[in-house]
Each structure stands twice: as C-alpha cells, then as structure tokens.
Chain A
Amino acid sequence: MAQVPGRSWREVMDTSHKADVPEGLWMRCPACEAMLYRKNVEVNLWVCTEPACQHHYRVSAQQRVEQMCDPGSFEPMWLDVSPTDPLKFVDLKAYKDRLKAEAGKVTQPDAILAGTGYVKGRRVTLACLDPNFMMGSMGSVVGEVLTRAIEHAHDSDLPMITVACSGGARMQESALSLMQMAKTSAALARFDDDGGLFISVLADPTTGGVTASWAMLGDVILAEPKALIGFAGPRVIANTVKQELPEGFQRSEFLLDKGFVDRVVHRKDLRSEIARIIDYAGK
C-alpha cells in the first residue's frame, strides 16, 4: 500500500481527528489503513510503521521540539507572549472562546513553540508551529515569537531552524495577521544581511500566508514526505480552474520536481540532515 490516497482539502484542514494523535493501544493509519501498535508509532517519531507507507503524522510543537533536539536540550523562550482578540472577531463562535478552547490542547500559549536547543550537538534557535492550536495559523503571537526567535538567532550567531505546519494566516486577526508575513520576512532579511543560516522545514500542511512568507525563505528548504505545500488550497484552485488537479499536486515531491524545495527528508533523518547542513553553512 505505497499509495497515499488523495485527500480533499476539507479533510486536510480538518483538525478534529487528524492533528491529535489518536488514543488507545492500537490505531489505524489514515493513509494505508493498517492497524498499528501505538507504542511502535510513537517510537517511530509518529511515522506509520508499515514500510511501504511511512505516513508522517502531524505532531504537536512539543513533540516536534523533542524529536528535533538532543534529549532535554530544548529551552523554551517567550512563553509569556499570548494572544488577545484585537478585533473582537465573532464568526459562528467568538475568537475569544476559540482561543480558550484551543489553549487546553497545547502546552504553549499560541500556535508556536520556540527556544534554543541542540541538534546533534549543534546549538540552534528553533521555532515550531503547532497544528493543534487553530491549525497552526499565524496571527500576532506567531509572528512576534518567530520574529524574536530570528532576532535571537541573529544576536547569538546561531542557525535558525523552523518547522512550518500551518493552514496560513489567522483570519480572526485580519490585516494584523497579514502583516506578520511582512514582519517575519523583514526579520529574515536582516538575518540574511549578516550571513545567518536559516533552514526551513515544511511539514504537512504548509499553506497560505505562512508559505508565502518565512517558510519559503529558507537558505535551505527541507520538506517531509508527501506534505501538502502550497499557496492556495487545492479546493480553491479546483473551483477556480474547473479541472482536475494533477497527480501529487502540491505535495513535497511535486515541489521538489518544480524546484521549490531542496530536499524531501524522512522524519527520522531530519536531525542528521540539519546537522550536516549546519556543518556546511553555519557559522
């Protein structure tokens, strides 16, 4: 069962059942539908244990930093930066209430966890998005914490590593979210001016305003296998062009083929790949 069945945009963006890692002793892989022993998947960095499948589960920012860093080396920063509701946004539910409901699902105040850590002995500044908090969307807090992380990497002469996993800019903060794209990109310009190394890792999904800003500005861009990566969502595109989307459209391998990512890297190899690139390009 090597083939990952195509998923609709709604399925991809639906966080209710996918982003949370399922409970119970056994679990069914959403890609190959094999029954998997939960413990084995966990040890396998939340990658399907079927050799032919290797579906990469979405993981929380906390799990991600633990996977990326040498054991116990990650030190979180900027945990006191927390979201507000600047526009008093109300759709079917008030943003204020959404924030409260989402807060219980994660260990940090918003959709980003950042700090310093070691990757195979190399010190880095690391920022990871969390799909469990409003689909990893970028509002003021994500933009601010990421910018601080970039500035920290800059000031400390450290490589900057990000792991993107996001539905895009957060609608509930409207233009304030939009401007986080400019803010983070501007911070990366300064970092770039002074020769800082930025490695951007793209996980499933990386879309919208996150792709169209910092996530695509890596000196080196790595992508996990079969991650959805794009600007517009597949459903929007399908509605616009009124034709079937090509096989594997907007997946990591597609972007590799089109020249927009440097390497597609299995989760188990991310640490060694990052360490290797730091040794070539880091200060």
Chain B
Amino acid sequence: MPNGNNKPMGYQLEFEKPLLQLEEQIAVLESHQQQAGHAEDFNAEIKKLRQSHATMLKKTYGKLNAWQTVQVARHPARPQSVDYIGACVKDFCELHGDRRFGDDPAITTGFGRIGPYKVLLVAHQKGKDTRQKIACHFGCAHPEGYRKALSKMKLAEKFGLPVVTLIDTPGAYPGIGAEERGQAEAIALNLREMSRLKVPIVSIVIGEGGSGGALGIGVADRIAMMQYAWYSVISPEGCAAILWKTGAKAADAAEQLHLTARENVKIGTIDEVIDEPLGGAHRDPKAAYEKVEAWIVQTLRDLNRFKIDNLVKRRYEKFRNMGQFAEA
C-alpha cells in the first residue's frame, strides 16, 4: 500500500530494486533498534542508510527513461482517480448511466466541489481490487462510458459548471460489444462536442493516456500531465507489436513515441506538467493530491477570467494549431 515513509510497498519496479534493498536494511536495523540496549549502536547507521536512500531515489527518478516512466504510471500503488476524488473533491455526488445502454464503471461522473468551485467531474476508473478491475476492464471504457461522460458534460453546460476530467486509461476497450455499440462513434462525438462545450474544461492525465480512449475525455482548455504519466497515440506495446513486429520492443517504442509529460509539452500537445513527489505519486500520495487540487483551483481561476465565447474560441485555436508540417 502507498505510504509516506519509504517502507517497502509490496510491488517493486525492476529499476527500483536497489532502493528496495536499502529499505529492507533500514527496516531490519530499525527492528533491532527497538530491542533494548541497541539504540545508540544503530542510529548513525540508519541515518547513513536513509541518506543514501534519499540520494539514490533522487538519482533514479532524476533520469527515468520513457519506459521506466510508463512503469511508474502503471505502478499498482499509484493513486487512481478514485483516490484523487476522495482527497480533492468534497461532497462528491456520483451520477450514473448514459440513458442509452448502461452504466460503464470504467468512467465515473458526478458533481463535486474542488476548492471554491462546484464542478462536474469525469474520470477514468481502473479499479483497486481484482473484482473492481474486472468490472472496469482495467480502465478501458466502453461506448456507454463515453456517452455517459458526454451526457453529464452537457448537464454541466446547462448548469454552468466547469468540467474537470482525470485521464487514466490504457485505451478504449477493444471488444465485440464495444464495436457493436459504436466505440468509434462515441469517441468521435465526444471530441466534437467537447470542442464546443460552453463551459471551461480542464484535464489531467494522472497515469496512462492511451490514445483515443484518453482523448475521448481530453479535449480541454488546459491539459496537464502528472510528471510520470504517459500520453500517446498508442501504447508502447501496441506500437512495438506493429512496427517492430514484437511486443518485446515496448521500451524502444516508448522512447520513440515521446510519450512523457515533458516531451508532450515540447510538441505542444499538452500545456503543463504537474511535478510529482520525489519517487513518484505512489510514495507520497498526499503530496500528489495537494498538487493536483492546487493546479485545478488555480487553472479554473485563470479560465474564469474569460468570457465563455472567447474561451471556446481559444480552445478551438489551441487544437487548430496542433501538428507539425512543412509548407512551401
């Protein structure tokens, strides 16, 4: 489970193994120390280990490559939207169902308060335990999820509430039912309608930004990514399978896809990076919640300065200008 004091978290990423060893050593010494008579002997040693742990953590996370970033984004202990909602949203009033087919648990929608603002929240849901994960298809939404999102965003428009979306999906669900019920049409409609929705929209990619499934709730006035989130046209595994003919080249694909937050800022596909606590959001979720809440409040305050027609126009121009090409 996530915690703030560097104890082992059950699941460790490959590149974090050396950190895990130090954490185990510290834990052993601490347990010895608690036995009478040893206190003085271990204090200095523990302090030293803690220091090298902090240094190593800084060093490891200071130069994460794209593939390592993807692994952090998928860390099982990484905060999910349900955690952010619990921590940052007061009086959350969930609204269910797309009024067409069903209620997709892979996308949560509802009213809530963030700081001084009443908002309409739309968030991918990956699920915490196995049962939830299966119900949410591991964060892969069906058409009814996208249609639920759109119907609630229309509510927000009707009642003048800004929309906040939290993106965390490997991609829209690729299944028989999803295709039968028009996955492509559902996403396409969201893109079109979000581009002209007459309320402010802010989006944060908190974990995985997988392709059209992410963009389907991501056409916003301001788009941020958490420092160790990824956002790309395809998952690294999918890209590797097609272009390298083997999913084993996912690390290479991750690098080539320029899918990190910083790379996305560079190419102009997102606006801002929200820095994570040292060692990733899963090491200090509280700090992550605070940063996310602060960013949302600040951004909504900024956007409130604009008349809505002007804001929608700027939103259009923002996406209109995306892309890079040559022109004689």
A residues whose Cβ falls under 8 Å from a Cβ of B: 80-84, 86-87, 89-92, 139-141, 143-144, 147, 169-171, 173-183, 185-190, 192-193, 208-209, 211-217, 230-233, 236-237, 240-241, 243, 245-246, 249-250, 258-260
Name the one of B179, B196, B212, B257 contacting A230, with C-beta atoms under 8 angstroms. Answer: B179
Measured between beta carbons, the chain A residues less than 8 angstroms from B187 are 212-213, 231
State A8–B180 Cα separation when bound (angstroms): 19
* Alpha-carbon separation in the docked complex, A193 to B242 (Å): 38
Q: Is B132 an interface residue, CB under 8 A from the partner?
A: no
Which residue of chain A is the closest to B253 with respect to CB atoms? A91
* Segment at the A interface, from B24-32, B57-65, B231-239: B231-239
| Binding site secondary structure of chain A | helix
Asked if residues B269 and A246 are in contact (CB atoms below 8 Å), the reply is no
Tell me the bound Cα distance from A171 to B231 in angstroms. Answer: 13
Measured in the bound complex, the distance between the Cα atoms of B175 and A232 in whole Å is: 8
Are the C-beta atoms of B212 and A212 separated by less than 8 Å?
Answer: yes
In the bound complex, CA of A259 to CA of B100 (Å): 14
Chain A min CB distance to B147 (Å) = 13
Chain B: CB-nearest residue to A140: B323
Measured CA separation A58–B267 after assembly (Å): 34
Instruction: Tell whether B86 is near chain A: CB-to-CB under 8 Å.
Output: no
Pick from B183, B193, B252, B269: contact of A179, CB below 8 A: B269
Q: Is the CB of B316 within 8 A of A190?
A: yes
B319 touches A179 (CB 8 A): yes
Q: In the bound complex, do residue A246 and residue B176 qualify as a contact, i.e. CB atoms below 8 Å apart?
A: yes
Residues of B within 8 A of A81 (CB): 325-327
* A90-B256, A209-B233 known, 20 other contacts, Cβ within 8 Å: A80-B328, A82-B327, A87-B257, A91-B244, A141-B323, A141-B325, A143-B322, A171-B257, A175-B231, A176-B269, A182-B195, A183-B320, A186-B320, A209-B211, A211-B188, A212-B183, A212-B187, A213-B188, A216-B184, A233-B174
Contact B322 A180 (CB under 8 A): yes
Q: State the CA gap A224–B151 with chains docked (Å).
A: 32
Check A83 against B326 for contact (C-beta < 8 Å). yes
User: Is B189 part of the contact surface with A, judged by Cβ < 8 Å?
Assistant: yes
State how many angstroms separate the Cβ of A196 from the closest Cβ of chain B. 13
Contact of A87 with B256 at beta-carbon distance under 8 Å, contacts A171-B234, A240-B175 already known: yes
Q: Interface 1/0s, chain B 157-199, versus A by CB < 8 A? A: 0000000000000001111101111111101110111011000
Contacts of A84 in B (CB 8 A): 324-326
Tell me if B70 counts as interface (CB < 8 A to partner A). no
| Cβ–Cβ < 8 Å partners of B178 in chain A | 231-232
- Cα A249 to Cα B264 with chains together (Å): 36
Please name 30 pairs of A and B residues whose Cβ atoms are closer than 8 Å in the assembled complex, sorted by A.
A81-B326, A82-B326, A83-B326, A87-B258, A92-B243, A139-B323, A169-B211, A171-B233, A171-B234, A174-B256, A175-B264, A178-B232, A179-B215, A180-B323, A182-B191, A182-B195, A182-B218, A186-B315, A189-B196, A212-B188, A213-B187, A213-B191, A213-B212, A231-B174, A231-B184, A232-B175, A243-B176, A245-B176, A249-B179, A258-B182
